[in-house]
Amino acid sequence: MRGEFELIARHFAPLAADVSGAFGLQDDAAVIQPESGRDLVYTSDTISAGVHYLPDDPAGDVARKLLRVNLSDLAAMGARPEGYLLNAAFQADVEETWIAEFAAGLAADQESYGIHIWGGDTTRTQGATVLSLSAIGSVPHGQCLRRSGARAGNYIFVSGTIGDAAFGLKIALGELADELDGGTQAILVDRYRRPRPRVTLGEGLLARNLATAALDISDGLVADLAHLCAASGLAAEIDAAALPLSTGVQQLIERDSARLSTALTGGDDYELVFAVPSERRDALVELARELDLPLTCIGHLEEGAGEVTVRGPDGTVVKTAQTGWQHF
Amino acid sequence: MRGEFELIARHFAPLAADVSGAFGLQDDAAVIQPESGRDLVYTSDTISAGVHYLPDDPAGDVARKLLRVNLSDLAAMGARPEGYLLNAAFQADVEETWIAEFAAGLAADQESYGIHIWGGDTTRTQGATVLSLSAIGSVPHGQCLRRSGARAGNYIFVSGTIGDAAFGLKIALGELADELDGGTQAILVDRYRRPRPRVTLGEGLLARNLATAALDISDGLVADLAHLCAASGLAAEIDAAALPLSTGVQQLIERDSARLSTALTGGDDYELVFAVPSERRDALVELARELDLPLTCIGHLEEGAGEVTVRGPDGTVVKTAQTGWQHF
């Protein structure tokens, strides 16, 4: 294993090559000129081996996940990604090939999302690898999507399909192997390992004034929608039959309807859930077409105090846990 | 132990109370309007239990150290602190009292340094506690202190006293107990646990155009000065007799002159080392008086390729390791 400075020079400095103010990651800090007329958006997430990802997940996918969960938070605010800081505390026995693959994953995503590293820190820890990333985005001054701001009567929309990541995790852990063909299993595992942050959608919602509130689904649809409801002082009615499900998840629920609850409460989807005024619904459909991304109405908001009610096809209430995963 | 959201609400949200754009740490990200005419400065550091601090160090001191090592990087750029993001991955058996004391340490330093939390993430790890912090500062547009920029003939100055933290660490580990009285030991341990980032000095050096290059001493004076030399394409001549030493370190070196090497190469001082043109020396002395902070000339820069030469009182070269602590 090389020295710390050489590791940075070899694997991480190339990620900063296009940012003059990052000084090749060789100074004490980066100096970046903010664009006039825009506010800056700051978010930060940590993922840890054995907690947020499986220790044998490919290093490139771990890197993508780390960056993308942060980009998903930016998307939820309607922000354009600008740059990021990486804090990597590697476990003592990390091999340089793992670090190289990790950096390659970041490089690929820098291309995909038009973002560059500005700085960070590379260290070792005595325990499991802990990876933190702080992402910086920007929005036009005075504008952003928030969790609060939704109004009674707004429609509730979600992007993409819901529940894929929760079942993908089960498959990655060796479950459900005899219920789905290999291709479908791979799609769901990919959804778990490589979330697609809805950055362009978030920017579009903000620019076209289509949503009164938004957040990204990391803890599970019901739990995160409950956050939106609580912040907006409303309640949500969800129609389970309207949930956008991938073919694989549809098959799993057809075999065992109790699995609907996993789709409703499973985390790691990193889709957006957002509130749309009825008069903006047509414009939203137009945005969905332009982005070639399914945006599905799954219910509506009404007066209330944070409750999320899910109704099944027969109108009865589907019981779900209202809180998502918590670390403590 | 309470739930994750309640922990954040109880211990960390109060730290964001004065920042409207942090939304009480309850949204996906913070939204901050940058001040017109200023560039933003980004730095990030990680400290890990058993590597960067001792597992039984007081939690409030760990918090201070985490914040201050980042503020020290901002100081090295001449930046004014603006805000920070905290990523805390706590070990599984952390107690809430530890988190409460950690947050209280941050609260005290927020007062001292006029900085507020903007966001972050609170998680658990399967291994040792890993704490990352990203600090955001600002400088007037187009200006900052860098490691490069020094010129041959510039004087080399350091702030404060050198070597205290390295001996403080030894004392915290149970060494040197019979060589110093308790009060002196406590001072050195305090210097290790509670570095004083030279924020006001950094801002003053920048505002008054007193330094051509600067960085903070985290890896050890010789190693960090070597970074400045390499970045500036110069060499350094240091006069060991000029080193500013605290009473305790003076006593230790008087008893064993080989310890001079510890002062020259020990890390964690978080003083600034900087290059001063001869025509700005008088103005620098004036700044030292205003700040009531010792600023000591320890040598000069000359043509070269990154070498740092330390000369003892008799003019002979004092041998020191040129590289500081590296994690890999």
pLDDT digits (tens, 9 = 90+) for A244-282: 999 999 999 999 999 999 999 999 999 999 999 999 999
When CB atoms are compared, the residue of B32, B89, B144 closest to A48 is B89
When CB atoms are compared, the residue of B36, B40, B73 closest to A32 is B40
pLDDT digits (tens, 9 = 90+) for B126-171: 889 999 999 999 999 999 999 999 999 999 999 999 999 999 999 9
CB atoms B40 and A34 under 8 Å: yes
Cα pseudo-dihedral B289, B290, B293, B298, rounded to 10:
-50
pLDDT band at A4 (very low <50, low <70, confident <90, very high): confident
Is residue A145 within 8 Å of A39, Cβ to Cβ? no
pLDDT at B327: 59
CB atoms B126 and A216 under 8 Å: no
Partners of A74 on chain B (C-beta within 8 Å) are 28-29
A28 is in an annotated binding site: yes
CB atoms B130 and A134 under 8 Å: no
Nearest Cα residue in chain A from B95 = A328
The alpha carbon of residue A235 is apart from the nearest alpha carbon of chain B, in Å, by 18
pLDDT band at A313 (very low <50, low <70, confident <90, very high): confident
Decide which of B328 and B114 is more confident.
Answer: B114
Domains and CATH numbers, chain A: 4-140 (3.30.1330.10), 155-318 (3.90.650.10)
* Predicted confidence (pLDDT) at residue A66 exceeds the cutoff of 70: yes
* Predicted confidence (pLDDT) at residue B31 exceeds the cutoff of 60: yes
CB atoms B26 and A231 under 8 Å: yes
Partners of B76 on chain A (C-beta within 8 Å) are 28-29
pLDDT digits (tens, 9 = 90+) for B224-248: 999 999 999 999 999 999 999 999 9
Cα distance between residue B135 and residue A295, in whole Å: 37
pLDDT at B315: 87
- Rounded to 5 degrees, what angle do the CA atoms A204, A210, A211 make? 105
pLDDT at B105: 98
Q: Averaged over A170-194, what is the pLDDT?
A: 94
When CB atoms are compared, the residue of B27, B29, B73 closest to A28 is B73
Partners of A119 on chain B (C-beta within 8 Å) are 42-44
- Of A190-194, B73-77, B321-325, give the lowest mean pLDDT range: B321-325
Tell me the β-bridge partners of B215.
B273
What stretch of H or E contains B213?
strand B213-216
* Predicted confidence (pLDDT) at residue B85 exceeds the cutoff of 70: yes
When CB atoms are compared, the residue of B39, B119, B231 closest to A32 is B39
Backbone angles phi, psi at B298, to 5 degrees: -115, 0
Cα distance between residue A297 and residue A266, in whole Å: 19
HSE-CB at A220 with a 13 A cutoff on CA atoms is 20
* Polymer length of chain A: 328
Partners of B147 on chain A (C-beta within 8 Å) are 26-28
Partners of B3 on chain A (C-beta within 8 Å) are 323, 326, 328
- Rounded to 5 degrees, what angle do the CA atoms A322, A323, A324 make? 130
The alpha carbon of residue B177 is apart from the nearest alpha carbon of chain A, in Å, by 28
> CB under 8 Å to B71, separation ≥6 — which residues?
B81, B113, B115, B135, B197, B199
* Owner of token pair 């980042």: B70
Terminal CA-CA length for chain A: 36
When CB atoms are compared, the residue of B48, B89, B139 closest to A46 is B89
Partners of B139 on chain A (C-beta within 8 Å) are 31
A138 is in an annotated binding site: no
The SS3 assignment for B31 reads strand
pLDDT band at A40 (very low <50, low <70, confident <90, very high): very high
pLDDT band at A192 (very low <50, low <70, confident <90, very high): very high
pLDDT at B322: 57
Mean pLDDT across chain A: 94
Partners of A88 on chain B (C-beta within 8 Å) are 46
Q: Averaged over A69-90, what is the pLDDT?
A: 97
Nearest Cα residue in chain B from A127 = B127
Task: Return the DSSP state at A320.
Answer: -
User: How many beta-carbon contacts under 8 Å exist across A and B?
Assistant: 230
Partners of A120 on chain B (C-beta within 8 Å) are 44
Nearest Cα residue in chain A from B146 = A27
Terminal CA-CA length for chain B: 36
The alpha carbon of residue B251 is apart from the nearest alpha carbon of chain A, in Å, by 33
When CB atoms are compared, the residue of A42, A125, A326 closest to B119 is A42
Nearest Cα residue in chain B from A47 = B123
* Predicted confidence (pLDDT) at residue B34 exceeds the cutoff of 70: yes
Is residue A137 within 8 Å of A159, Cβ to Cβ? no
